Amino acid sequence: MKIGVFICHCGENISRTVDCPRVARVCESYPGVEYAIDYKYMCSDPGQNMIRDAIREKGLDAIVVGSCSPHMHERTFRNAAVSAGINPFLVEIANLREHCSWVHDDVEAATQKAIELVRMAIEKVKRDKPLSKINVPVTKRVLVIGGGIAGIQAALDTANAGYEVVLVEKEPSIGGHMSQLSETFPTLDCSQCILTPRMVEVYQHPKIKLLTYSEVVKIEGFIGNFKATIKKKARHINEELCSGCGLCITKCPTKKKAYNSFEEDLAFRPAVYIPFPQAVPNIPVIDESVCMYYKNGKCGMCVKVCDRGAIDFDQKDTMLVADIGAIIVATGFKLYNIDKKAADSKYKGYGEYGYGKYRDVIDGLQFERIASASGPTAGEIKRPSDGKVPKKIVFIQCVGSRDDSKGISYCSKICCMYTAKHAMLYKHKVHDGEAYIFYMDIRAGGKMYEEFVRRAIEEDDVKYIRGRVSRIYEENGKYIVKGEDTIAGMPVEIDADLVVLATAMIPQENSAALARTIGIPYDKYGFFNEAHPKLRPVESTTAGVFLAGACQSPRDIPESVAMASAAACKATILLSSDTLEREPVVAKVNEDLCAGCFYCKKVCPFGAIEVKDVKDMNGIVYKEVAYINQGVCQGCGTCTATCLSKSIELAGFNNEEIFAEIAAL
Amino acid sequence: MTSMEEVIMKYGYYPGCSQTGSAKEYDISLRKVIEKLGASFDEINDWSCCGATSAHVTNHKLSSALAMRNIMLAGQQGLENMVAPCAACYNRLVTSQYEISKHPELREETEELLSAKFQKEINVINILELFLKIGINKIIENRKRELSELKVACYYGCLLVRPAAITKFDDAEQPVSMEKIVESTGAKTVDWNYKVECCGAAHSIARRDIVVDLSKKILEDARSHGANVIAVACPMCHTNLDMRQRAMKRTYPGHEELPVLYLTELIGLALGMNEHELGIDLHYINYKYTDPVPDNTVA
Amino acid sequence: MEELREYAKELLEKKEVAAVIGYTQVSENRTKPIIITDPADASKLVFNEYCLNNLSVYLTKARINAMCRTKDKIMKLAICAKPCDVHSIVALIQENQVHRNDIVIISFNCHGAVKDFGYEFSGENLASKCITCETHKPLYFDKIFGEEKETPKASDAALARIEELESMTHEERFEYFNNEFDKCIKCYACRAVCPLCYCQRCITDKAIPRWIESSSHQRGNFSWNIVRAFHLSARCTGCGECDRACPMDIPLSLINRRMAMEAKKSFSYVSGRSLETPTLVGSFNEKDSDELFM
Amino acid sequence: MDKEKWEPKIVAFVCNWCTYTGADLAGTSRMKYPANAKMIRVMCSGSIDPVFIIKAFERGADGVLVSGCHPNDCHYNAGNFHARRRWDFFHELLDFIGIEKERLQFSWISASEGKKFADVIAKVTKDIKTLGPFTAYKKMNSEFTAVFPEIQEVVKETIIKEKETV
């Protein structure tokens, strides 16, 4: 084996404390080294050409580069080696900059350490084996979990890129929280008007298979080769036959039996219902817990009125399995509520505001429904308790957010904006009404956001009071809001008719369980972890799974849509090639030596190790051995250390290579 | 209500300075009620001041040392638990013990200051926990008369159920334990809004005007919800709500008096004792329960 | 004794088991392992305080495949096992070396065994593992013989020795163990006799790269004994056979016992006691202590 | 060699994702720490095998550091959890055999803890310096040559040749 050693000065970052010529000279006489040279900028074009030329002229089989951290230029030098005909994995980097020249002042000690580091790399490269990238087939289909605006956008972008999409939404209709909003900041355009066309586009898109009232129950496999099991809950209505005429809804006798969760419990709905008029798909759902037929077997009014015979009481949940190449998670958020929590819950309720016992102390989404034209009050601002038009409304920012004692230390980002919007909507509809907003700091960082808040203050005369509200209690129909005005430096008391709390954005109820089903990490609140906060915000650390919208952290609509398109783009990149190239750093079991104790299978964090039967000539299984699935193995090497007889080798870090590095000390 | 495990009847007792001074009647009524219910107090000998807010404000080590001295004395006296009727004492004792167990360096300094080792954690109980431990039905069993005419506003004040992290026996914002105890005396309780609002506490001397305003609001809110008496369980609250009503008449002409009783006095009345025995006649706003004590009064 | 032989004979006749692995008397207080396939040989089987070998070492995949997987009939393998040997069988099952339904466990109410052949069974000749044994009745068995008798009392010398060693300074202990390990002649009897050393090719036989030096010089012995002790940590069930087999009397089970104490202290885990609890090796718990780590 | 001038030889087995990147950060922030430690990069602290440690001591290391990601930070979800349990046993074993606990030290260092990396290296170097060379193990080396004879001879020659050219 002929080895080339190339020592870089890195300008003078290395050569200031490491005598590069001397390192090169010492390595030249080292056994196995054919050629050794030092140069000012090894990673520059002339430097790389020097490497390429040396490989060709000296017939080198492997190279060692003494330079900066492999995390910086390992790929550069590997590409240079490949272009000169050497396998990229016969290139070793000795980190002479971050781990040597920059951190030691004494030239002699630094140079001596540099020599030893290069020697370790030489010994390792001698035992490196040529490796090639692993190719794994890619299924050309994307699974989008969550049908809010983020899920809709991701599904549309991926489908428009020509790939099949399976969009799974747990509610009867897509639209998510955006469909509940009245108008959206900062342009005050009506939420339904900008959302419904997108929803219809999803419904009619030939490439999108829409599964509403469904949940993902299992995800198996790995990047490019996922297998998703989806439970389609029984709607008790045959989707092909139903024309969406809505007769069954109007005729259903159980008018006031259940709260409509879409209306945030401000209105009721019958047993058979669609969540809101513009629901997509426009197919109702029968709620077993309320429907008389399931209670006492009688009624069946809907069957009578339905001329297409679409009602099907014995419809059962069905399971669908789909092969998936990439997954985009867009499950969105939920609002924190102030009710009294169990002792062990990670959140605390708001006893100061009455733990939710006052009907006219509502949250942001409830106010959206009150302000929305299709809402319970047809757009008129009326308070839930007695339907009166409130003369004085107090809005409170940061209810739960930015508050360690309630268990939520982060800022929920969008409340400053939607509270200003709420105040504006109120003032537009009730001109002589008074709107007070208790705030700590207004965070209006988006485009046209600050101007929007200024407009609320200057044109709509919304009174901003800087201070926290300490207590709310009801006194003969009025809600006494006790707080402080920290700028005026005195306590404040307002007798409000309605109080709207801008409660924190927290992840969906079962986000942690879903994360475990998919196999992606999540933080202590239940938001899903991105691969890198700055550089890889829409990718999860699990390869092939992308994140969009508020399931990753509090997001407003523009950001959710941007993230959704980014995630769609990442998915299409993954799906654009027929096979997937993966780093060859994976483990391999020597099946002759494996004793079948399967400790490796227990420790493998990715479940990449399977039991493989070894048969003798006449097909009888005489032993079971561990087999590592090259596609799933991420190359962590935990199995190699757990294997007692050391019969598992990790490519790139095999026993001989590590041994050689230790021996060269 | 205590569960089936045997009901503890023997308690350590840390009276605290106000019990021997301005809140004498609280101490008298407490001892009599405990005796009537068959429990017994074992006063901590050589107990000293708990430091209250003055020490707590000036020096953290001083305040924890003052409080811990009493806890160590109780430990040395072989006591398992310790009742501290005054809310401020209760708060200082419980918080100091909580911090000592959390911060080893504070523990060493305190042990050094007191030149004694802190071995045993003492279960410090406030007056509400005491009656919950003894058991509401114990009161009902020994009740001589039902105070059915009383509509009581239970006033907890700011310290009795806070801080929430330490006083875990009731909700810090919407407490209900005093209501349960008062209802056992046959009296009715009202749902009102100022249960845990501040009465002005130590401002009573330096800024009497603040105390008058705050206490006035508390009294008026109780009255507006139909209460005809206020029950308290802290000498500071009692002083501000009871004694300051005279000053209220000057700043708020037409102020009607509203009697303020200690929780123990209320229970004492229900157990058949009269106002003099319970020291109610020491209050500024004198109060007599309407129908006389049933004939089998015990002298 | 008679019921044991009767039972074994019956198993062999009915071809339920391909063979019975048991003990047979050799001389006054010495027995040896015996594998019988002919029902008539059942009469040779014995069980008494002199049956020391841990027969679970014979439960290898190769033997089960060869003897039990005949073309016409799948048979089982019967094995006589003292309660402490049953612990080894449990460990072997948990490590996929043998399946519970491949074997018939014949066990006994054990009241202790002699520490080595040639000793009279009595209190002070008791094997060290029997002094601290708390499973006189086997945890898993298909058939049990012998009535319960009192185990003679004896002081736990091994524990005392461990405590004595722990009181020494590091240099003294290193000196002691170095001299002990220096005696090792790399005969690997300890590996041969240990049921849990079933690796096809042990790490010491791995030549490229040579992690454990094979020559029996001081350094090679040192690394072999450390790796052997580490590989058995939280797996060894304390059958003590390695100690008995070592020709140079190196205190191997002393180190194994110390590591078992560590498993009990830090993870409250005792190996080979239950098929349900997952093995300590290969599992982890988020709440394991961190004080080892800066 | 007297103790003051003697420089300990320390080997650090570090995981690629956290500690190695942490060391890079220490470099880019120009933090200074002793040059005694040489690092061997592996993909995860879970893949560091106790035999590496024994081999390192055999090759004359006076101290060994094993460092990986903080619990829950592991790029592979659970590698460091398995490592943590494994090291608890190995550390007890070495201590029982008579090797001082400071000879083998462990740490969690994340990619953003450059300062901690420099401090840990400095601490380990100081500890080993106070402990002195690992004579007990070195005594075992003197009688027999290294396993890779050709490395041992060459190493001696290159060091000798170096001396001439300087």
Q: Which domain holds residue C69?
A: 2-145
Rounded to whole angstroms, what are the CA distances from A456 to A239, A425, A443, A563?
A: 46, 10, 14, 29
ipTM of the complex: 0.64
Domain boundaries, chain A: 3-126, 141-233+317-332+508-576, 247-305, 333-506, 587-663
Per-residue pLDDT, B202: 81
Q: What phi and psi, each to the nearest 5 degrees, are found at residue A483?
A: -145, -160
Whether residue A110 lies within 8 A of chain D, CB to CB, comes out as yes
Does residue C14 sit in the same domain as residue C140? Answer: yes
Is the domain of B173 the same as that of B232? Answer: yes
Q: Per the domain annotation, does B213 fall within a domain? A: yes
Q: Are strands A134-137 and C76-81 parallel, antiparallel or unpaired?
A: unpaired
Tell me whether D45 touches chain C (CB under 8 Å). Answer: no
Cα A509 to Cα A331, A367, A551: the distances in Å are 10, 22, 11
Pair B17, B61 in one domain: yes
Task: Please report, in angstroms and rounded to a whole number, the separation of the first and last CA atoms in chain D.
Answer: 23
> How many CB pairs below 8 A link A and D?
141
Number of H helices, E strands in chain A: 17, 36
**What is the third-level CATH fold of A141-233+317-332+508-576?**
FAD/NAD(P)-binding domain (3.50.50)
Beta pairing class for A326-329 and A141-145: parallel
Task: Measure the CA–CA gap between B94 and B129, rounded to whole angstroms.
Answer: 13
Chain D neighbors of A642, CB-CB under 8 A: 82, 86
CB contact under 8 A, A351 and B174: yes
Based on the fold, state whether residues C46 and C125 are members of the same structural domain: yes
- Residue in B with minimal Cα distance to A474: B193
pLDDT at res. A360: 94
Percent of chain C's residues with pLDDT above 70: 100
- At residue D149, does pLDDT exceed 70? no
3-state secondary structure of D68: strand
C226 and chain A in contact, CB less than 8 A: no
Chain A window 111-130: which residues touch D at a Cβ cutoff of 8 Å? 112-113, 115-117, 120, 123
Domains, chain D, ordered by start: 10-165 (3.40.50)
Over the stretch A623-635, which tens digit does the pLDDT of each residue have? 899 999 887 888 8
Residue to test with chain D: of C232, C284, C289, most D Cβ within 10 A: C284
Q: How many CB pairs under 8 A join C and D?
A: 117
Runs of H (alpha helix) within A69-106: 70-83
Identify whether the C-beta of residue C48 lies closer than 8 Å to the C-beta of residue C31: yes
CA distances from B288 to B191, B240, D34 (A): 24, 20, 84
Q: How far apart are CA D103 and CA D123, in angstroms?
A: 12
Mutate to test the interface with B, among A471, A476, A479, A495 (most CBs of B within 10 A): A471
Q: pLDDT tens-digit profile of A214-263? A: 999 999 888 898 999 999 999 999 999 999 898 999 988 888 778 899 99
Contact A142, A571 (CB under 8 A): yes
C272: left (phi over 0), alpha (psi -120 to 50) or beta: left
Rg for chain D, CA atoms, rounded:
17
B201 and B272: one domain?
yes
Same domain flag for C188 and C244: yes
- The residue of chain D nearest to residue A665, with distances taken between CA atoms, is D59
pLDDT of residue A19: 93
For chain A, which ranges sit under pLDDT 70? none
Residue A664, chain C, CB below 8 Å: the answer is: no
Residue C139 and residue C186 share a domain:
no
Tokens 């958020």 locate to A333
The DSSP 8-state label assigned to residue B255 in this structure reads: P
Is B76 within 8 Å of chain A by CB? no
Question: Nearest Cα to A244, choosing from A214, A277, A269?
Answer: A277
In this structure, what token pair is assigned to residue C21?
A: 């692995």
Which of C 200-219 lie inside 8 A of A, CB atoms? 200-203, 206, 208-209, 211
- What is residue B295's predicted lDDT score, i.e. its pLDDT? 52
Return the number of CB contacts < 8 Å for A and C.
60
Do B150 and B201 belong to one domain? yes
* One domain, residues B89 and B181: no
Contact present, D23 and D115 (Cβ < 8 Å): no
Do A663 and D20 make contact, defined as CB atoms within 8 angstroms?
A: no
The residue behind tokens 């990238």 is: A133
pLDDT for C190: 93
The predicted pLDDT at position D155 comes to: 53
CATH number of the domain within which B256 lies: 3.40.50.11810
| D138 and A CB contact within 8 Å | no
Minimum distance, in Å, between the CA of residue A593 and any CA atom of chain C: 5
Structural domain A333-506, CATH architecture: 3-Layer(bba) Sandwich (3.50)
Contact yes or no for A665 and D76 at CB 8 A? no
Does one domain contain both B107 and B149?
no
List chain A residues with CB under 8 Å of B193.
473-475, 480
Same domain, C129 and C170: no
- Cα–Cα dist A483/A465, whole Å: 9
State yes or no: chains B and A have 3 or more CB pairs below 8 A. yes
Give the confidence band of D158 by pLDDT, cuts at 50, 70, 90: low
> Residue B83: which domain range?
10-127
Whether residue B205 lies inside any domain: the answer is yes
| Same domain membership, residue B122 and residue B19 | yes
Question: What residues have CB less than 8 Å from B166, skipping those under 6 apart?
Answer: B94, B95, B98
* Nearest neighbour of D93 by CB, restricted to C172, C176, C259: C259
Q: What is the pLDDT of residue D159?
A: 53
User: Does residue B291 fall inside a structural domain?
Assistant: no
Mean pLDDT computed over C170-188:
91
User: What was the pLDDT predicted at B51?
Assistant: 85
The architecture that CATH gives domain A587-663 is 2-Layer Sandwich (3.30)
- Is A357 part of the contact surface with chain C (CB cutoff 8 Å)? no
Q: Return the residue in C59, C70, C72, C95 with the most chain A beta carbons within 10 A, the one to mutate for interface testing.
A: C95
- Contact in structure between C272 and C196 (CB atoms under 8 Å): no
D99 touches chain A (CB under 8 A): no
Q: Do B37 and B142 form a contact (C-beta atoms < 8 A)?
A: yes
Average pLDDT over residues C98-116: 91
Bridge partner residues of A169 (DSSP): none
CATH classification at residue B82: 1.20.1050.140
Strand partners, C22: C34
3+ Cβ–Cβ pairs closer than 8 Å linking C and D: yes
Q: How far is B167 from chain A (nearest CA, A)?
A: 13
Does the beta-carbon distance from D106 to C293 stay under 8 Å? Answer: yes
Q: Closest residue of B to A357, CA-based?
A: B174
Contact A29 D158 (CB under 8 A): yes
With CB atoms and an 8 Å threshold, state whether A644 touches C95: no
pLDDT at C291: 81
- A484 token code pair: 């402080």
Q: Are A333-506 and A587-663 the same fold in CATH?
A: no
Q: Which residues contact C134 (CB under 8 A, 6 or more apart)?
A: none
D contacts of A71 (beta carbons < 8 Å): 20-21, 24
Q: What's the rounded Cα separation, in Å, for the pair B97 and A45?
A: 69
Residue D152 reports pLDDT greater than 90 = no
Torsion of the alpha carbons at A238, A242, A247 and A248, rounded to the nearest 10: 0
> Among C204, C11, C276, D148, which Cα is nearest to A645's?
C204
**Are C122 and C190 contained in the same domain?**
no
Neighboring chains of A (3 or more beta-carbon pairs < 8 A): B, C, D
**Chain A residue numbers touching D47 (CB-CB < 8 A):** 636-638, 640-641, 650, 653
Residue at token pair 């009469």: C43
The answer to whether C202 contacts A645, with C-beta atoms less than 8 Å apart, is yes
A139 and A226 in contact (C-beta within 8 Å)? Answer: yes
Count of Cβ atoms closer than 10 Å to residue A485 Cβ: 13
Q: Residue B158 and residue B200: Cα distance in Å, rounded?
A: 10
The pLDDT assigned to B82 comes to: 92
In whole angstroms, give the CA distance from residue A302 to residue A253. Answer: 9
Report CB contact under 8 Å: A636, D75. yes
CB contact under 8 A, C95 and A624: no
Pair B220, B250 in one domain: yes
| Residues C41 and C111 grouped into a single domain | yes
Q: Which of A473, A479, A482, A493 to mutate to test the interface with B (most CBs of B within 10 A)?
A: A473
Bridge partners (DSSP) listed for residue A609: A628
Cβ separation of D84 and C165 shorter than 8 Å?
no
C232 touches chain D (CB under 8 A): no
B36 domain-assigned: yes
Whether C119 is covered by a domain: the verdict is yes
Contact B287, B280 (CB under 8 A): yes
3-state secondary structure of A337: coil
Strands, sheet with B188-189, edge to edge from the N-terminal-most edge strand:
B188-189, B151-154, B229-232, B260-262
Whether B35 is in a domain gets the answer yes
Task: Say yes or no for a CB contact (<8 Å) between C223 and D54.
Answer: yes
A347 touches chain D (CB under 8 A): no
- First CA to last CA across chain C, in angstroms? 59
Number of domains in chain B: 2
Residue of A nearest to C97 (CA): A597
Q: Do C226 and D78 touch (CB under 8 A)?
A: no
- How many structural domains does chain C have? 2
Tell me, yes or no, whether C276 lies in a domain. no
Contact B193 A475 (CB under 8 A): yes
Q: Which parts of chain B register pLDDT below 70?
A: 1-7, 290-299
CB atoms within 10 A of CB A396: 25
Q: Does A28 touch chain D (CB under 8 A)?
A: no
Tokens 């370790």 sit on residue:
A120
| Final residue of a structural domain among B79, B96, B127 | B127
Angstrom distance (rounded) from CA A460 to CA A646: 74
Domain A3-126, architecture per CATH: 3-Layer(aba) Sandwich (3.40)
Closest CA to A179 of A245, A284, A273, A264: A264
Same domain, C137 and C161: no
Looking at residue B2, its pLDDT comes to: 41
Mean pLDDT of D116-123: 94
**Could A638 and D39 be called an inter-chain contact, meaning their C-beta atoms sit closer than 8 Å?**
no
Chain D residues whose beta carbon lies within 8 Å of the beta carbon of residue C229 = 93
- The verdict on residue B137 lying in a domain is no
**Among residues D19, B106, A102, A524, which one has the least CA distance to residue C294?**
D19
